[in-house]
Amino acid sequence: MRIDILTLFPEIALAPLGESIIRRAQDAGLVEIRAHNIRDWSTDKHKRTDDTPCGGGQGMLMMPGPIFAAIEELRTPESKVILMTPQGGVFKQATAQALSEETHLILLCGHYEGVDHRVIEALVDIELSIGDYVLTNGAIAAAVVTDAIVRLLPGALGDERSHQEESFSDPGLLEAPAYTRPIDFRGMKVPEVLTSGHHAKIAAWKKEKALERTRVNRPDLLS
């Protein structure tokens, strides 16, 4: 898989992707991640990439020219072009799963008040938001989306089971609480069932606790 991130801040997009599991996935050749500065496609002598909105309104918008030039240079017939924007559909685990099956993603990061709408109409396949809040910078959202996708690539996680059992995989519950040693920490004990060795009882306990946690923290997942 290849992921190209188009942003005004390539270092912000790449910083969280340079270590641990995502670093190893790149080193193992499972994914090639590149971040490009949209400014490099500006033909303006000041390398401008933004302008004021037509018809008035607050702030600045990203101009179509540099974005069209960048995407036209990077895309192939297989590419999926994704715009990171709070106006997008919300990114979920199922979205990550579907996108992990693509061969080439171009993640376009919105900055300022957004991008000229002709970019969306002509070039963008999917508009994605990472949640109902506004970031200063779409590069942060692109790093989040890249991380969630790359960890799903076959071979990225050592233990394949670890992402089949986790939250938001079927059946859509949060995970049960987890404990490690010591069994007694400052008088707080690990629930006895977890050290019983009784697999069926442990599974039942985990299911019950997962439901309880979901009911408290994310009742929307149950309705």
Q: Which residues are annotated as a binding site for S-adenosyl-L-methionine?
A: 110, 130-135
Interface residue with ligand ADE, options 19, 133, 159, 186 (CB under 6 A): 133
Q: CA 202, CA 138: separation in Å to the nearest integer?
A: 42
Contact between 37 and 7 (Cβ < 8 Å): yes
State the residue number with the nearest CB to ligand ADE. 141
Pick between residue 89 and residue 191 the one whose CB is nearest to ligand ADE.
Answer: 89
Residue 79: both structure tokens together = 């590419």
> Which burial class, exposed, middle or buried, applies to 147 when counting CB atoms under 10 A from its CB (0-12, 13-18, 19+)?
middle
Assess 141 for contact with ligand ADE (CB under 6 A): yes
> Which burial class, exposed, middle or buried, applies to 216 when counting CB atoms under 10 A from its CB (0-12, 13-18, 19+)?
exposed
Q: Other C-beta atoms within 10 Å of 166: how many?
A: 12
Backbone angles phi, psi at 201, to 5 degrees: -65, -40
Q: CA 121, CA 137: separation in Å to the nearest integer?
A: 22
Give the shortest CB-195-to-ligand ADE separation in angstroms: 42
AA identity, residue 189? K
Pick between residue 66 and residue 110 the one whose CB is nearest to ligand ADE.
Answer: 110
Assess 10 for contact with ligand ADE (CB under 6 A): no
- As annotated, the binding site includes 110, 130-135
Stretch touching ligand ADE by CB under 6 A, among 54-62, 123-131, 184-192, 203-211: 123-131
Stretch touching ligand ADE by CB under 6 A, among 25-33, 135-143, 146-154, 171-179: 135-143
Assess 13 for contact with ligand ADE (CB under 6 A): no
Residues making contact with ligand ADE (CB under 6 A): 84-86, 110, 129-131, 133-135, 138, 141
